[in-house]
Amino acid sequence: MAISQILETQRAWLASGKSRALKDRRDTLRAFAAAMDRHEAELLDALRADLRKSPLEAYTSEIRMVRDELFHVLRHLKGWMKPQRRPVPLLAWPGRAKVIREPCGSVLIIGPWNYPVHLMLTPLVGALGAGNTAVLKPSELAPETSAALTRLIADAFDPAQVAVVEGGAEIGESLASEPFDHIFFTGGIATGRKILTAAADKLVPVTLELGGKCPALIFPGPGERERLLGQMDVIARRLAWGKYLNAGQTCVAPDYVMVEQSLHEPLVAALAKAFESFGVGELGKIVNRRHFDRVLRFLADGRIAHGGKHDPETLTIEPTILLDLPPDSPSLQEEIFGPILPVVACANLDQALEQFHSQPPPLAIYAFTSDEAVRAKIVSDTVSGGVCFNDTVVHIASPALPFGGVGASGMGRYRGKASFDTFTRERVVMSRHLWPDLKFRYPPATATVERLRNFFRFIERH
């Protein structure tokens, strides 16, 4: 079916009012959850084929994330849909006003390949909870998952409500030029710019979830150094886990570490120990040969302190620690998106923040400290989509927390209530009686500016 026909049928669906009522939306979300159950095994197999994700990783980082979103929205949707009473201006007394939230309309969701289930279906949950229809464009770089998603959507929804369009990058750009009511894109910065440019011609609002270099900072407060040394194994495991997940192909993975000089060697030793304990048996693969070759080039930037082994046949790269990097090296300037972790020693936090400010704002900042002054400085002196202290990645796991970037790392927010707000529009509804009808508002003027000023000053004081 041509995209123009899909949009026509979806607009007819919206005009019918089938997605307006709370019950209809809840029924849709419950049908979605039931289809997830029926297709779970197929999705796990597809994720294994496309990205070599283990069943446990695929379930926790993909399937479970979607199901958590579904049930969070089901629990809270009634409250989100309630109109909000607002005061009316003095000129409209006596009167009433409220703000209602209405569906955007037909939403285009373009998903990435690195989390092809989670990052495609989680925004869909929000779009459906908000009462919209949707067109999905899965990534062609995860073909098995794309096919599995197409079957799931066909099983769960009428195509007039949710449809899937498969194809390459050119299809995504073509879709973005169509008159959708909202576009939601997750992917790289370069493609995000193309989507935004294509949407601008028809003034379609866009949400962009992009990437960036997410730093990890390890700088102790006064008297904290010995405590951090004593917990270095925990710090290293949490950093290594964030980089190991999905072979580093995670937009919020720690991309590089900046650590105080005195903690540099203990951290590197602990990271090597952590990566060694994880093994390589469950390590995912790089999505294709082009990305494999791109990631592999970063290994030439510095000295390999651990790892570095790679296999072009299986497209796997052993988790690798890189040291002795020049400040202008590609691995400190470009998003790595692979299992390579540069570690940079800095004299102090100020020096680290100076280097941080040379990069665009990232999706996340990770910092390992319990010192409140250090935490406050990191929050106040930086800009990012989120900040997580003493862990990595886990801050994105809750549907109660909005997720998104800043500047080059994205625009807009989603997850839970943030998704509902993204995929709806505020509409003001005001009502008042025809009496009283105060004559002073009409020409010719009977009041003076001085009298009005005194009147409003009286109101302000009371």
Q: What is the rounded CA–CA span in Å between residue 44 and residue 59?
A: 7
Tokens 């008042």 belong to residue: 432
Largest CA distance in the chain: 86
Q: Is the previous residue joined to 220 through a cis bond, with omega within 30 degrees of 0? A: no
Which residues touch 171 (CB under 8 Å, ≥6 apart)?
A: 137, 165
Catalytic one of 104, 214, 251, 346:
251
What would the DSSP string read from start to end of 9-20? HHHHHHHTTTTT
Given a contact cutoff of 8 angstroms between Cβ atoms, the answer to whether 122 and 110 are in contact is no
Q: What is the rounded CA–CA span in Å between residue 243 and residue 226?
A: 25
First and final CA of the chain: distance in angstroms? Answer: 63
Give the helix/strand (H/E) hosting 135. strand 133-137
Secondary structure letter of residue 37 according to DSSP: H
Active site residue 8: no
For 377-445, list the strands marked E by DSSP.
Answer: 386-389, 410-411, 424-432
User: Dihedral of the CA atoms 124, 127, 132, 135 (nearest 10)?
Assistant: -30
Q: What is the rounded CA–CA span in Å between residue 388 and residue 366?
A: 5
Catalytic one of 57, 209, 260, 335:
209
Active site residue 209: yes
Q: What is the rounded CA–CA span in Å between residue 145 and residue 283?
A: 19
Buried b / exposed e over 252-280, threshold 16 CB at 10 Å, is: bbbbbbbbbeebbebbbbbbbebbeeeeb
Tokens 């997605």 belong to residue: 19
Given a contact cutoff of 8 angstroms between Cβ atoms, the answer to whether 109 and 123 are in contact is yes
On the 0-12 / 13-18 / 19+ scale of CB atoms within 10 A, 147 is middle
Closest by alpha carbon to 44, among 30, 54, 34?
54
Q: 306 pairs with which residues across the strands?
A: 321
Sign of the four-CA dihedral 65, 70, 74, 80: positive
Q: What is the rounded CA–CA span in Å between residue 445 and residue 210?
A: 55
Structure tokens of 184?
A: 């939601």
Structure tokens of 452?
A: 């009005």
Active site residues: 209, 251
